[in-house]
Amino acid sequence: MGEIRRVVVMEDDPDARALIRASLVGEGFEVREAPDGAAGLELIRRDPPDLALIDYLLPDLDGLEVCRRIGADPATEHVPRILLTGKRDLDPDEIRSAGATGTIAKPFRPDRLGPRIREVLG
Amino acid sequence: MSGSRNPSAGSGDADHDRTIRELRRGFLEGLPERVTALRRALRAISPSAVATDQPIGELWREAHNLAGTASSFGLPELAEPARRIEELAERWSDAGRVSGTDRTAALEHLDRLEESWRQLTDRDEEGEAG
């Protein structure tokens, strides 16, 4: 996998979104952010990033559906996708079939977010 | 792959820590607004709430977001009562009804949330003054 530098974050809670941004910027990532799935998909379509970090519970679309839509568009299908989720009972097969590389558990520690992304992406 | 603290930032870690502290302060400043939204959603829930009741969904989402974000900021005294409210909302959604006891419990968790917030902001102000 190539260098992961440009990240699109989809998270509806503004404080959580700001915390994710600060954590990732501190790790040297470039971050664009969206408060819901539709806005996030538009950001990704317009300029595909190196990674999409997607909250599982967005107000308009669930994270799995966002992953599917990224994968269904030839212009964005190559973008790796990680789900941020507080749910412990997500079906791993469903996550994989939606095209997500993996998940990062919420709540997250800000100083662990960058390292966790590296772990998930392998 | 990117991965370590941004070396170009010079005093990167100190800047980063200051940013996180400022975000935490902003989160605490916005907490009364979140509690107001929780109280509003709780008031809007009828005793015979059905599983698709929108106010229950709103209460659940507000509490869920608050619990997760407070945890990420390292504030368990706010996360814990929010998590209790989230669990109550989930139970009401499953059961399709809200008991008076549960409603009282939710109000108590909200009061506890506000009290913890007051203590935290008082402590922060004392820290800044000291």
* CB proximity A94 to B under 8 Å: no
**Quick one: closest CA in A to B7, which residue?**
A28
Tens digits of residue pLDDT in B56-97: 889 999 999 999 999 999 999 999 999 999 999 999 888 888
ipTM: 0.87
Residue A117, SS3?
Answer: helix
Is pLDDT of B3 > 70?
A: no
Tell me, what amino acid is at A25?
V
- What digits encode the pLDDT tens for the residues A21-67? 999 998 899 999 999 999 999 999 999 999 999 999 999 999 999 99
In angstroms, what separates the C-alpha of A55 from chain B's closest C-alpha? 11
pTM, to two decimals: 0.88
* Cβ neighbours, 10 Å, residue B129: 6
Residue A109 contacts B, CB cutoff 8 Å: yes
Nearest residue to B79 (alpha-carbon basis) of B26, B23, B34: B34
What pLDDT was estimated at residue A48? 97
Average pLDDT in the A61-90 region?
A: 94
The predicted structure's pLDDT at residue B33: 96
Reported as half-sphere exposure (CB side, CA atoms, 13 A), residue B61 has a value of: 17
DSSP state of A48: -
For chains A and B, count residue pairs whose Cβ atoms are closer than 8 Å.
Answer: 79
In the predicted model, what is the mean pLDDT of chain A? Answer: 93
**Which pLDDT value is given to residue B97?**
82
Residues in chain A: 122
Do B26 and A15 form a contact (C-beta atoms < 8 A)?
A: yes
Say whether B68 and A106 touch across the interface (CB within 8 A).
yes
Residue in A30, A89, A23 with CA at minimum distance from that of residue B23: A23
**Inter-chain contact A107–B72, Cβ cutoff 8 Å?**
yes
